[in-house]
């Protein structure tokens, strides 16, 4: 993953002006000579030396002011060797002794996307931070509030705590991006200062880029290095088409293989923050999808090994109600082809909750269209949140009934019912024993635990011993306590 970017921002109350830029060949930017019009030209190969000598400078001047430095401070505990617990060594090492708390600051970038100061950045830039600030080019710093963050999508929305108008970068349509289009990346690589790099879009719909659940990235060969995280990837109209987030590199530097989260994903995430959501939620389908390998394509008589094959559907789910069947292959969403299951989930997410997606489905050589309503996962049964008190091993746990909504929030794969740990009180008995968020309590003393009420009743008993069965990430753990 990339670290973070610094940027020079614009003067007080600066705005991104309304003029736009268009590509005229591989390196041309056509600017209006009168009024606010821009004369967009068709894409073409440079025909003259003058086409090659044009500059990106006007584009950079318009957009760079809205890219800011993001400072995230956090307290960390340094591990301490038993040797340093001796007061004798403490007198020599003082505050440098390992095991002491210390404040660390990480530097990243963000892009201002609304005039009132909403900033898009990467989640990994502000993860675990106790204090988040942004810095503009004129040296002013502002505290920020984290409105929404999600490590699955590596996105976060910040709100600058100031009552003034800020410069912005308009968010473009990342579906309009084509392989070969020119792109600019703005960041602060290796903390050398604001840096602009240029390249082209090298690929779309890239997955298997990181270990997260999100698998749909724009690929660019514009140099992206540690320090660029959260920075802007721009097109030649001065629009944000992606948030730089990751690189493939063996030595930590740019190898010309950088990745950005598409702007259309940013739009959906930003809207959730503007609507006051505290957790980003994607539409619930109630089906499991797998990749279409060449063997599967041959067996099913498909023309190409692409799309997402349905491997299972949950009873009563939107997928089942819409008529999706196991073995069917989804090849497009709203007439946009999908290359793999990650692309399918991306398309459903950016389509937006509350809408209906038109799925193009291929089965037995026939192509049909299926309307799939995009809604939140249901809370059935109700989560019935309870905090377990008393002197049992569960003391300090916050538990909830498992429903499709809870399973989505806590990322419970293959678990349809039971009772799950959603929080653990610091210093509690449950924390000392080793419970973890997401643990599903299956049984206590061989008695099945089906609801939070059942667990609360069992926790109030006083048996001679406690035999626990816990499902942790698909692995069963059996433990006995006295």
Q: Active-site residue numbers? A: 124, 154, 229
Residue 5 in tokens = 């970017």
74, 50 contact by CB (below 8 A): no
Is there a cis peptide before residue 470, judged by omega within 30 degrees of 0?
no
Is the distance from CB of 75 to CB of 100 less than 8 angstroms?
no
How many CB atoms neighbour CB 26 within 10 A?
A: 14
Give the whole-angstrom CA distance, residue 425 versus residue 382. 23
Which residues, at least 6 apart from 96, have a Cβ–Cβ distance to it below 8 Å? Answer: none
DSSP state of 229: B
C-alpha 204/C-alpha 125 separation (Å) is 24
Distance CA 362, CA 309 (A): 9
Q: Which of 347, 379, 420 is nearest to 175 (CA)?
A: 347
Share of the chain residues as helix, strand and coil, in percent rounded to the nearest 5: 20, 35, 45
Q: Please tell me whether residue 142 adopts helix, strand or coil conformation.
A: strand
CB atoms within 10 A of CB 324: 21
Helices (H), 197-277: 263-274
Long-range own/partner contacts, residues 23-30 (CB < 8 A, 24 or more apart)? 23/181, 23/182, 23/236, 24/51, 24/54, 25/51, 26/52, 26/182, 27/51, 27/52, 27/54, 27/182, 28/54, 29/54, 29/55, 29/56, 29/58, 29/59, 29/236
Single out the residue of 76, 69, 70, 68 nearest to residue 128, CA to CA. 76
């Amino acid at each position: 993953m990339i670290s973070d970017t610094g940027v020079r921002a614009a003067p007080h109350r600066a705005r991104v002006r309304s003029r736009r830029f268009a590509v005229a060949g591989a390196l041309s930017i056509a600017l209006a000579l009168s009024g606010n019009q821009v004369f967009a030209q068709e894409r073409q190969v440079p025909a003259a030396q003058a086409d090659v000598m044009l500059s990106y400078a006007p584009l950079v001047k318009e957009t760079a002011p809205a890219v800011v430095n993001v400072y995230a401070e956090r307290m960390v505990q340094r591990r301490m060797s038993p040797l340093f617990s001796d007061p004798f060594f403490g007198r020599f090492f003082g505050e440098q002794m390992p095991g002491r708390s210390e404040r660390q600051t990480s530097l990243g970038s963000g892009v201002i996307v609304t005039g009132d100061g909403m900033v898009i950045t990467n989640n990994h830039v502000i993860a675990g931070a106790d204090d988040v600030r942004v810095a503009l080019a004129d040296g002013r710093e502002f505290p920020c509030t984290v409105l929404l963050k999600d490590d699955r999508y590596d996105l976060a929305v910040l709100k600058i705590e100031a009552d003034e108008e800020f410069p912005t970068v308009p968010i473009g349509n990342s579906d309009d991006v084509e392989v070969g289009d020119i792109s600019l990346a703005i960041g602060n690589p290796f903390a050398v200062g604001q840096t602009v790099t240029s390249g082209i879009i090298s690929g779309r719909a890239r997955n298997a880029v990181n270990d997260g659940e999100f698998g749909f990235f724009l690929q660019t060969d514009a140099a992206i290095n540690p320090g660029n995280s959260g920075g802007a990837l721009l097109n030649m109209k001065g629009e944000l088409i992606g948030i730089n987030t990751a690189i493939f590199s063996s030595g930590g530097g740019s190898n010309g293989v950088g990745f950005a989260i598409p702007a259309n994903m940013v739009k959906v995430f930003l809207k959730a923050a503007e609507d006051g959501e505290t957790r980003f939620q994607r539409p619930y389908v109630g089906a499991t999808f797998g990749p279409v390998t060449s063997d599967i394509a041959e067996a099913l008589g498909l023309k190409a090994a692409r799309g997402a094959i349905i491997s299972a559907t949950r009873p009563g789910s939107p997928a089942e109600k819409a008529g999706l069947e196991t073995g069917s292959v989804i090849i497009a969403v709203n007439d946009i082809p999908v290359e793999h299951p990650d692309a399918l989930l991306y398309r459903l997410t950016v389509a937006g909750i509350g809408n209906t997606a038109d799925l193009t489905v291929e089965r037995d050589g026939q192509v049909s269209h299926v309307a799939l309503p995009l809604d939140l996962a249901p809370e059935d049964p109700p989560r019935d949140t309870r905090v377990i008190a008393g002197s049992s091993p569960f003391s300090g746990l916050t538990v909830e009934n498992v429903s499709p909504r809870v399973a989505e929030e806590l990322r419970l794969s293959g678990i349809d019912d039971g009772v799950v740990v959603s929080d653990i009180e610091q210093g509690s008995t449950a924390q000392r024993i080793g419970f973890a968020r997401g643990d599903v309590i299956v049984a206590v003393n061989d008695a099945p635990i089906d609801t939070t009420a059942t667990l609360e009743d069992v926790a109030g008993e006083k048996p001679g011993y406690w035999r626990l069965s816990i499902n942790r990430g698909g692995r069963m753990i059996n433990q006995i306590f006295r």
